[in-house]
Amino acid sequence: MIRLHDVTLSYRGRAGEVTALAHTSLAVGKGEFAAVVGPSGCGKSTLMKLVTGLIRPTKGKVEVDGAEVTGPVKIAGMAFQAANLLPWRSVLDNVMLPLEIVAPHRGRLGRERDAYRTRALDLLGVVGLRDFADRYPWEMSGGMQQRASLCRSLIHEPELLMLDEPFAALDAFTREELWVVLRDLWQRLGFTVVLVTHDLREAGFLADTIHVMSARPGQIVETRRVAFPRPRPLDVLYDPAFTDLVHSLRNKIAEVRQA
Ligand SMILES: Nc1ncnc2c1ncn2[C@@H]1O[C@H](COP(=O)(O)OP(=O)(O)OP(=O)(O)O)[C@@H](O)[C@H]1O
């Protein structure tokens, strides 16, 4: 689904040139759940922007679904640390927002509003928010807002879901609840995921593959397959093999930070 071939990305700003990524290569298969971890400022968000076509590589090539990325990628949905829901729209209308923007839904929404509404309500049901569809974002907790944000990123049935630290602002319990929500959505809908996170337990619980990046300029320095069988219960977090995985990822990141 995703291929980065020897990609370098340099930002040119007033303070001169900053090379965020240098000679980075990465492959993510169709339907795979990939996580990207690494020290702060190593270029994780830059990698997300390259894959979604928000920026173009300085050198090298980015491909999504077999085609070179030359502009915004239509098959991608995105969610970020801030839920960014529009306060004047109900939860349902927030979830339906991408349908007003993304082709071909934009052209169909007028005629097929009821069917789309049903789809949005079904999705809200999967994340436990069906009864909150008519509420406003400011009437809901941060975790509920993030659930709605996940629904919004999936309403146009993207093949690729790009998540940049979506649970970082939540408390530990809510975060674990949301891991389960994302696990179930992914298992049900079968999209490809790239999840950027600082939380190594989150990466271990959710991902098939964890890519570790070096300090800036970032590169993938290690790729781990996560072998725990699916569906994974939260109890896997207390498995000694899981703790070993988290420890060794932590050690690897400490090593690349000092290098
Ligand atoms: N638009 C920009 N112009 C100039 N430099 C930038 C720009 N965006 C990012 N950078 C720089 O590129 C480097 C990588 O940034 P990026 O946001 O990709 O890192 P990150 O790994 O996502 O960081 P964090 O883990 O702290 O969220 C940083 O040094 C950052 O300051």
Closest Cα to atom 16, ligand 1: which residue?
43
From the CA of 157, how far away is ligand 1's center (Å)?
Answer: 29
Q: What is the mean pLDDT of residues 20-47?
A: 95
**Residue 94, in any domain of the structure:** yes
Q: Which domain holds residue 40?
A: 30-53+73-258
From the CA of 189, how far away is ligand 1's center (Å)?
Answer: 31
The CA-based angle 180-124-143, given to 5 degrees, is 55
pLDDT at 74: 87
**Residue 64, in any domain of the structure:** no
How many distinct structural domains can be found in the chain? 1
**Residue 179, in any domain of the structure:** yes
> pLDDT band at 102, cuts 50/70/90?
confident
Choose the residue to mutate in 42, 56, 163, 256 for probing ligand 1, maximizing ligand atoms within 8 Å of C-beta: 42
* Calpha distance 58→10 (Å, rounded): 6
From the CA of 50, how far away is ligand 1's center (Å)?
Answer: 12
From the CA of 37, how far away is ligand 1's center (Å)?
Answer: 14
Winning range, highest mean pLDDT, from 76-80, 143-147, 243-247: 243-247
Structure confidence by residue, pLDDT tens digits, 4-20: 999 999 999 888 999 99
**Residue 2, in any domain of the structure:** no
- Please name which of 25, 82, 33 lies closest in space to residue 50, comparing C-alpha atoms: 25
The atom of ligand 1 lying closest to the CA of 21 is 14
* Calpha distance 193→29 (Å, rounded): 10
53 in Cβ contact with 45 (< 8 Å): no
Sign of the torsion formed by the C-alpha atoms of 151, 170, 224 and 240? negative
* Tokens linked to 234: 């939260």
**Residue 254, in any domain of the structure:** yes
* Calpha distance 133→95 (Å, rounded): 9
From the CA of 41, how far away is ligand 1's center (Å)?
Answer: 5
**Residue 171, in any domain of the structure:** yes
For the Cβ of 9 lying below 6 angstroms from any atom of ligand 1, the answer is no
Peptide bond connecting 217 to the previous residue in cis, omega within 30 degrees of 0: yes
> pLDDT band at 67, cuts 50/70/90?
very high
State pTM to two decimals.
0.92
Complex prediction ipTM: 0.96
Mean pLDDT of the chain: 93
**Residue 14, in any domain of the structure:** no
CATH code (residue 91): 3.40.50.300
Structure confidence by residue, pLDDT tens digits, 202-231: 999 999 999 999 999 999 999 999 999 999
pLDDT at 222: 95
For the Cβ of 11 lying below 6 angstroms from any atom of ligand 1, the answer is yes
Choose the residue to mutate in 44, 54, 162 for probing ligand 1, maximizing ligand atoms within 8 Å of C-beta: 44
